[in-house]
Amino acid sequence: PSVPREGELPVLPPDVDRETFNKAVAEIKGSLGEENVELNDKPLVDGWYMEHPNTHDAFHIVQQSELVSSATVFPGSTEDVQTIVRWANKYLIPVFPISMGRNLGYGGAAPRVRGSVIVDLGRRMKKVLKVDGQNATCIVEPGVSYFALYEEIQKTGYPLWIDPPDVGGGSVLGNAIDRGVGYTPYGDHFANHCGMEVVLPSGEVVRTGMGALPGKNGADNPSWQAFQHAYGPSVDGIFSQSNFGIVTKMGMWLMPDTGNQSYVITFPKDDDFEQIIEIIRPLALNRILGNIPQLRNVIQELAVTGKPKSHFYQGKDPMPREVIRSHAKNMPCGDVAWVFYGTVYGPEETRDMQLDIIRREFAKVPGSKFMLPHELPKDHYVHSRVNVCSGTPELRELDWLNWKPNGAHLFFAPITPTKGEDARVVHELVTRLHKKWGFDSFPTWCVAGREMHYIANIVYDRADDDEKRRAIGLMREMVAEAAAEGYGEYRTHLIFMDQVARTYGWNNQALMRLNETLKDALDPNGILAPGRAGIWPKRFRGKGYEL
């Protein structure tokens, strides 16, 4: 859809006239302080990852001016968040919470509903509230990035690791509740959170898990970060990938620094992936593979150099296999098809035993080659993987964006069991549809054990409307075709949330009807992030907002 940004700015929230909006803004300025409310009335600037906007999606896939806020508010405390939520209920203004808004590829800082007010928790609520060096836990506010938590832990001197995702500038809390992943044994971020504090859409504050039981003399509960489930229904899950509350504090488990050894295995043939995955499964289930390893297509060896596609190929079409091959053969991993990045943990003796088994098992694939990081050049990508896999945040993954001018990316991320036959179905449809829509295909499997996240990274030029149109077409078709085969995404960009939510439609959308029941009970005025995860409050349902 074409939404020019003309006329009076900022754009207004739905069903709110300018007079009411101005009155509401004056009121919230009075509560939070003039400096903690910013109108979105200036030209939109995409910036870059570390200087990202909090007004719109920096990686716009629709028009830049489509997914925009009316204003951003900056709470400094849980009480401020309560004030904002009560204010939103009074004026029926949708608010969209972000921790830091570096969720690039999934919508960045943008709201799902145009004209929502962004609640940017990260600017002022950015304390590491506690590090328990003995029990290896911490409590963070939304504005704590992986870099900040890393530095804070370094200061304590405890031999503890955090688990960073590919790029370390995002929010620890934001990533966990959006169910992001990393690559150490603690790579399932949501599974390694422990205890939350949440402001509900009514303005009420709750603490989940053991945190619901007050500590002695009003202290925080001593087991809040030690035990996830506590007593009664486990409600933490409903605050992840949802719009049921604003999370203001979260506990995370930290990993003891056990020692680690990363390695790389290359495989020569495009068709090897099924056999590789069949080898991975028992190793992962038996915990011989220490981490969440990645199996990457060789084209990524070109992309992570940070050189543009035009350096390798002048054509506009997807880079032909022979061209990839001709460049790969001059690169450190050579003329291969797949590159496996793994890491083992623990004391040297156990690592060596694991590595022996890993070498032996993967050697069953003819032509495979095992390498340690020191065998690869100093500027090779493996060294940034070593950091990520041993708790040190990185930015190297951003080098991909140079592939295209004005590079932006979008992820297609379906889940399959760790089985070669499922991998083949998804990989074939992704490869075919990327060709059809004219994109290079960058597949990666991240293997957690019984399941794999297949991550297809669509890199597009955000100044090229036709490319954006084709990227959307590609996504929509991949989501639909994968769902027809029984595969669903674990996470998606704002504009695909409705479509993905609908694919989880077993028994006439029973799960969505449950989510809507919860939404209407918790948020009767529909003020909190309407449409997020495809969940629309009754005030918005069926009014043409769904995509």
Catalytic residue numbers read 106, 490-491
Task: Collapse the DSSP code of 80 into the 3-class scheme (helix H, G, I; strand E, B; otherwise coil) and give the result.
Answer: helix
Q: How far is the CB of 135 from ligand ADP (least distance, A)?
A: 24
Q: What are phi and psi of 278, to 5 degrees?
A: -65, -30
Rounded Cα–Cα distance for residues 283 and 473 (Å): 37
Structure token digits, residue 196: 């939350």
Q: How far is the CB of 30 from ligand ADP (least distance, A)?
A: 24
Choose between 143 and 342: whose C-beta lies nearer to ligand ADP: 143
Cα three-residue angle 66-49-45, rounded to 5 degrees: 40
- Distance (Å) of CA 444 to CA 182, 231, 298, 392, 513: 14, 39, 10, 21, 33
Choose between 138 and 529: whose C-beta lies nearer to ligand ADP: 529
Choose between 99 and 297: whose C-beta lies nearer to ligand ADP: 99
Residues of this chain that bind ligand ADP (CB under 6 A): 97-103, 107, 109, 121, 142, 170-171, 173-175, 177-178, 246-247, 529, 532
Choose between 120 and 440: whose C-beta lies nearer to ligand ADP: 120
Cβ neighbours of residue 211 under 8 Å, at least 6 residues apart? 195, 196, 197, 220, 221, 224, 230, 251
Per DSSP (E only), the strands in 142-245 are 160-161, 193-199, 205-207
- Distance (Å) of CA 109 to CA 34, 59, 67, 112, 540: 22, 10, 9, 10, 21
Choose between 70 and 261: whose C-beta lies nearer to ligand ADP: 70
Choose between 239 and 362: whose C-beta lies nearer to ligand ADP: 239
Rounded Cα–Cα distance for residues 92 and 23 (Å): 13
Cβ neighbours of residue 227 under 8 Å, at least 6 residues apart? 194, 209, 210
Q: In the chain, how many H helices and how many E strands?
A: 14, 19
Q: How far is the CB of 173 from ligand ADP (least distance, A)?
A: 6
Structure token digits, residue 506: 């077993």
Q: How far is the CB of 537 from ligand ADP (least distance, A)?
A: 15
Q: How far is the CB of 206 from ligand ADP (least distance, A)?
A: 13
Q: How far is the CB of 400 from ligand ADP (least distance, A)?
A: 16
Torsion of CA 451, 517, 251, 54, to 10 degrees: 90
- The answer to whether the beta carbons of residues 79 and 199 sit under 8 Å apart is no
Helix-strand-coil split of the chain, %, nearest 5: 35, 20, 45
Bond before 347 cis per omega within 30 degrees: no
Choose between 170 and 293: whose C-beta lies nearer to ligand ADP: 170
Q: Within its chain, how far is the Cα of 46 from the centroid?
A: 19
Choose between 73 and 279: whose C-beta lies nearer to ligand ADP: 73
| AA letter at 210 | M
Rounded Cα–Cα distance for residues 252 and 201 (Å): 24
- The answer to whether the beta carbons of residues 258 and 136 sit under 8 Å apart is no
Q: How far is the CB of 120 from ligand ADP (least distance, A)?
A: 9
CB atoms within 10 A of CB 287: 11
Q: Within its chain, how far is the Cα of 499 from the centroid?
A: 18
Q: How far is the CB of 233 from ligand ADP (least distance, A)?
A: 20
